[in-house]
């Protein structure tokens, strides 16, 4: 799985996820930090990345795109850093890997993860 870490999250996620076997890139190493979320979504869809973010705007973007990709993982942790919640993210990625490959919006917090298939239907 290829993961693109949104600029709103610490680049420490890249090292953490890479150490767990994921191909990962932080947006700051790819594009401008001031890029609009739509640009990040388009890049991820074009290059086969799943987006990891703390930003809730991506759900709205996915709903308007009506497309199956890219998958987006929204961290809803109170403290979204790998040292505190990294293992929770790894467990959620392992549990939802097939859904992510098929296209999904995944929301993860300290207690659970929720999956919504893409494309979103109204």
Residue 39 domain flag: yes
Tell me which H or E stretch contains 60. helix 57-65
Residue 16 maps to a domain: yes
The helices-and-strands tally (H runs, E runs) of the chain is 4, 6
pLDDT of residue 91: 95
Helix%, strand%, coil% for the chain, nearest 5: 45, 20, 35
Whole-number average pLDDT of the chain:
94
**Dihedrals phi, psi of 9, to nearest 5 degrees:** -110, 150
Give the number of domains in the chain.
1
pLDDT tens digit sequence for 6-26: 999 999 999 999 999 999 999
Over residues 30-57, the pLDDT tens digits come to: 999 899 999 999 999 999 999 999 999 9
Is 122 a domain residue?
A: no
Task: Label residue 122 by pLDDT band (50, 70, 90).
Answer: low
pLDDT of residue 50: 98
* Domain of 52, in residue numbers: 2-117
């Amino acid at each position: 799985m290829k993961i693109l870490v949104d600029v709103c999250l610490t680049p420490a996620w890249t090292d953490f996820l890479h150490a767990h076997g994921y191909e990962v890139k932080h947006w700051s190493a790819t594009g401008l930090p001031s890029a609009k979320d739509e640009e990040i979504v388009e890049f991820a869809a074009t290059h086969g990345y799943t987006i990891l973010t703390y930003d809730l705007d991506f759900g709205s973007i996915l709903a308007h795109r009506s497309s199956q990709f890219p998958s987006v993982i929204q961290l809803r942790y109170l403290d979204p850093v790998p040292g505190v919640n990294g293992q929770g993210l790894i467990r959620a990625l392992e549990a939802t890997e097939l859904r992510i490959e098929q296209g999904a919006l995944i929301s993860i917090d300290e207690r659970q993860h929720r999956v919504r298939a893409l494309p979103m239907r109204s």
